[in-house]
A and B are shown apart, each in its own frame.
Chain A
């Protein structure tokens, strides 16, 4: 079946540094990828929609200058958390779909970010 690979699975960084998270669709081309953030014991909150070859669409309240999204190819989207602070610590999950059908959405295994 379709697989979405997310890397790294966990990362610890110091406050003020930047962290890049990769999301790859391994066996299909994804024109659209989604980035979610999940706080402990809470639901997934959509951060942004990443579109191949164009700018990402951010949800209200998400700082686009802090959470940089790049979707340079049909199989790779990256999320960079810039100048990370402890409050950015969270579980970040990407998802991707081969076409427009929402029912074909596949999720990565997530990245646990801890900012010290």
Chain B
């Protein structure tokens, strides 16, 4: 069985500050990890994914995440956030052909 824990339900940050959204997972097999962003009343947009290879993954909108197998983590980072980054962020885990298991989400609140 797989599970995802997003440790922070809400992260407030000032514009142009760095941010890290935390994600820990558990899985009994090889994992595939994803970060999605959801704007109000919309579906999910893929930010980035880790399937294999380099543990540092770069995604869209300046986000990146690092896969750490020993700590079973896949934290999302951005060096400088914008107001437009305000949204809900979901971490998800899967094995290759199974369905996605989502975390509960982290609301990123960027203020001027």
Contacts and interface: CB of A to CB of B under 8 A. Distances in A.
Contacts of B98: 102
B43 A110 contact: yes
A30 interface: no
Interface string A37-77: 00001111010010000000000000000000000000000
Given A103-B49, A110-B41, A43 B105 contact: yes
A85 interface: no
B44 A43 contact: no
Interface stretch (B19-27, B69-77, B89-97): B89-97
B97 A102 contact: yes
The interface centre, meaning the residue of B43, B99, B100, B103 with most chain A CB atoms within 10 A of its CB, is B43
Interface residues of B, number: 24
B102 A43 contact: yes
A35 to B, nearest CB: 11
A107 B39 CA distance: 13
Contacts, number: 52
B90 A110 contact: no
B54 interface: no
Interface in A84-104: 91, 93, 95, 100, 102-103
A113 to B, nearest CB: 12
Interface residues of A, number: 23
Interface in A1-23: 4, 6, 9-10
Q: 9 tightest CB-CB pairs across the interface, nearest first?
A: A107-B43, A107-B44, A109-B43, A43-B102, A43-B104, A44-B102, A110-B43, A109-B42, A108-B43
Interface of B: 9, 32, 34, 36, 41-46, 49, 51, 90, 94, 96-100, 102-105, 107
Interface of A: 4, 6, 9-10, 34, 41-44, 46, 49, 91, 93, 95, 100, 102-103, 105, 107-110, 112
11 contacts: A34-B99, A43-B90, A43-B103, A44-B102, A91-B41, A95-B44, A100-B97, A102-B32, A102-B97, A103-B49, A110-B42
